[in-house]
Amino acid sequence: MWRRISIVQTAVIMLGVILQLLLGNIQLAFFAFPMNVTLMVLVSVFAYYCCKTWVSGIAFSITIISIWLLLSLCLGLFPIFSGYSRSWIFVLQTLLMLFVLSSVIFRRHDFMFFIAHFGMLVAVSGGFWGACDQTSEQVLLKDNTQFLVSNKECTFLKFDKEAQVAYLLTDKSDTLTAAVNHPAYYKGRDIYPQTYNAEHNVCVLLVVFQPWKWVEYAGILLMLIWAMLVPFKIINKRRKRYV
């Protein structure tokens, strides 16, 4: 088993290195909808037909998922590695992890096992495949300046320098507040105040479109439900022992 794991993992790394040298970082626009959905379905179908093979075994699945988690932690905790999120090595490793995780889910039917692993699959899929459809736009604005968000008018009223909050007025005369960590949500877009130039009284807003973020949230919610159910399952097992 460990020989197979080593062969597969080495092949993924070598293929990633070769593609990285030949093509450079992945161009996400090429994998935007419907390409990302097509690949996601293909990975799921392939995983279904391989669910009863050694790829869904405990040793292989734990190893692949652990390697992916380690890479993800490195990307998140160390800024020096942040640029590798679009490298072929990380993308191929993520594809392998999604394939293995799907195979494991198809193989086992226990409810607690399913909700935990399916939640992880949905959350990772939302972030991974959704990155291809995510767009961001910087808008340079002065006070009382109109701009378009998803073809709808929005007015930048002012920027509060003390509270670090931008005030916006929608086409329905609703006032929105946007902070760095608390964006305003309007027409399916998240609006962040990015920078402010007090000398020229100019604010830069970042308008982000993340159509898959609700998929990520759904996956996270499933994992939270699993975490809340775990203590009840443990208590129930202990009760059965003493009955």
Tally the domains of the chain. 2
Verify that 123 and 159 share a domain, yes or no.
Answer: no
Verify that 114 and 15 share a domain, yes or no.
Answer: yes
Verify that 224 and 205 share a domain, yes or no.
Answer: no
Model pLDDT for residues 101-117, shown as the tens digit of each residue: 999 999 877 888 899 99
Verify that 6 and 103 share a domain, yes or no.
Answer: yes
Verify that 145 and 228 share a domain, yes or no.
Answer: no
CA 20: distance to chain centroid? 22
Q: What angle (nearest 5°) sits at the alpha carbon of residue 209, between those of residues 204 and 211? A: 165
pTM here is 0.85
Q: What is the pLDDT of residue 75?
A: 81
In angstroms, the CA 108 to CA 110 distance is 6
The residue type of 78 is F
Q: What is the pLDDT of residue 239?
A: 65
In angstroms, the CA 33 to CA 40 distance is 11
Q: What is the pLDDT of residue 110?
A: 82
Q: How many CB atoms lie within 10 A of CB 161?
A: 10
Helix (H) or strand (E) holding 172: none
More confident residue, 86 or 83: 86
**Mean pLDDT estimate for the chain:** 88
Using pLDDT thresholds of 50, 70 and 90, give the confidence band for residue 238: low
Verify that 122 and 164 share a domain, yes or no.
Answer: no
Verify that 13 and 75 share a domain, yes or no.
Answer: yes
In angstroms, the CA 53 to CA 106 distance is 11
Verify that 236 and 145 share a domain, yes or no.
Answer: no
DSSP 8-state assignment for residue 110: -
Verify that 129 and 164 share a domain, yes or no.
Answer: no
Model pLDDT for residues 53-69, shown as the tens digit of each residue: 888 888 888 899 999 98
pLDDT of 243 > 80? The answer is no
Q: What is the pLDDT of residue 231?
A: 84
Sign of CA dihedral 163, 165, 166, 167: negative
Going by C-alpha positions, the residue among 119, 130, 118 that lies closest to residue 37 is 130
Sole residue written with tokens 């291809």? 132
Verify that 143 and 172 share a domain, yes or no.
Answer: yes
Verify that 195 and 233 share a domain, yes or no.
Answer: no
Q: What is the pLDDT of residue 174?
A: 87
Model pLDDT for residues 20-77, shown as the tens digit of each residue: 899 888 888 888 888 999 999 999 999 999 888 888 888 888 899 999 988 888 887 7
Range of the domain at 158: 135-209
Q: What is the pLDDT of residue 54?
A: 85
Instruction: Name residue 140's beta-bridge partners.
Output: 204
Q: What is the pLDDT of residue 15?
A: 92
In angstroms, the CA 121 to CA 223 distance is 10
Verify that 100 and 144 share a domain, yes or no.
Answer: no
